[in-house]
Amino acid sequence: MPGWETTVLSGAATADTDTLMYPHGPQFGDRRTPKADDGASPEIPISVRFSIYDRSYRSLYVNNNGVVSFDVPVNQYTPDSFPLTDGRAFVAPFWADVDNRITGEVCYRQSRDLQLLQRVTADINTYFPHEEFTATWLFVATWDHVTFYGSKSSKMNTFQVVLTTDGHLSFIMLHYKDIQWTTGAASGGDPHTGLEGTPAQAGFNSGGQRNYFNIPGSRTPSILKISSTSNIRSPGRWAFQVDNFAVPNGCVYNANFLPPGTFFWSDQTCERRCQCMYGDDGVTCQARGCLLDEACLPASWYHVCQPVSRAACQVWGGRHYSTFDGQRYRFQGSCAHVLLQLCGPPRLAGPAPIRVEAESEAPGAAQGAPGIHLVRVTVYGQDLAVVRGATGHVTVS
């Protein structure tokens, strides 16, 4: 895109002392990429072979637009969806139109520092306990307080990628300390907010059609919340094994991450219901469609069965009831009333059997207006009860 002159507003990167970001900045020996629109570092020879699936690399580039690439630099500023099948292999912590001429630094280094190697070894062994890993090399690239092309705001992003290997196993970690914008002005973004247009892509791409990964929210407005997401239960950090792809604490389906327990339909007709299982069982699917009063609707990259219409049942004051059809009733005395239950035997394609009861207080049992003494929900074979006054406690079965 056309270049234009700007003034640098901020100085050198600073060190981080938190547990998320690895140390970075000139004081740690980092080099900086040029202050250039869509620029990149020179080719960086690395002292080991770093593997992504069945390909190994001995050099890389740090690109201003949020990408570490192998073989060739990446000056493209509007991200494409993965997979890219043109042979380009790269890791994209936050592929978007960064402009480090306005503010911020893009810095990098490779290291065999013993303290850093011990730190990354401990991290990887925590997330991948089935692997015996001792790091012998790591590479850290950091985009520190960078803004976007065409920015007329003070919004800045700080994120980082860590590559590490023992010569055989290869891992990457993506860190997101602060994300305030998603899109450059040349990608359709608002120069005052850094939003809208074509938002950033995050994940990695092997250059082929099969081996790639999209972090949820990529190229959608939800990527703004990436610093609060994770696949290793540490908000702002994502970790992957990339020599032989593995993602901890979840499932990957069509290169998208799913937390354990997630239900979804794998096609736009909602004919196959799938679930990400706990443990190492991965994703299981079975033929199961929507009910007659449900519609198959998109939700992110998959589909779900949603009710065509909604209604509410309410209880208040321990005596007043509003049913799903909008009728109101008043009952006296201490009784347990059924608020919700399935009518008829459960069907294979239907929801799980469920029953909700509300138990009123006996007259004189409490000062003031009578209320609900207990609410009981029976679902999935479990009996859950909430008792008035037992704040913070739920009784199970």
Residue 180 has pLDDT above 80, yes or no: yes
- For residue 166, give the 3-state DSSP assignment: coil
If asked whether residues 324 and 369 sit together in one domain, one would say yes
If asked whether residues 275 and 335 sit together in one domain, one would say no
At residue 369 the predicted structure's pLDDT band, cuts being 50, 70 and 90, is low
If asked whether residues 163 and 221 sit together in one domain, one would say yes
Assigned domain for 126 exists: yes
Q: What is the pLDDT, as a whole number, of residue 370?
A: 62
Residue 143 and residue 99 in contact, taking contact as beta carbons nearer than 8 Å: no
Q: What is the pLDDT, as a whole number, of residue 9?
A: 29
Residue 15 has pLDDT above 70, yes or no: no
Report how far residue 93's alpha carbon sits from residue 160's, in angstroms, rounded to the nearest whole number. Answer: 7
pTM here?
0.67
What tens digit of pLDDT does each residue of 187-216 get?
999 999 999 999 999 999 888 877 888 898
Residue type, 221: P
Residue 258 and residue 274 in contact, taking contact as beta carbons nearer than 8 Å: no
Residue 66 or residue 53, greater confidence: 66
Lowest mean pLDDT among 69-78, 139-148, 313-322: 313-322
Phi, psi (rounded to 5 degrees) for 69:
-120, 160
Assigned domain for 6 exists: no
Assigned domain for 65 exists: yes
If asked whether residues 241 and 283 sit together in one domain, one would say no
Report how far residue 172's alpha carbon sits from residue 177's, in angstroms, rounded to the nearest whole number. Answer: 16
If asked whether residues 268 and 353 sit together in one domain, one would say no
If asked whether residues 236 and 283 sit together in one domain, one would say no
Q: How many domains does the chain have?
A: 3
What is the domain range of residue 329? 314-396
Average pLDDT over residues 148-162: 97
If asked whether residues 272 and 362 sit together in one domain, one would say no
If asked whether residues 92 and 215 sit together in one domain, one would say yes
Q: What is the pLDDT, as a whole number, of residue 7?
A: 26
Phi, psi (rounded to 5 degrees) for 125:
-70, -25
What tens digit of pLDDT does each residue of 100-131 get?
999 999 999 999 999 999 999 999 999 988 88
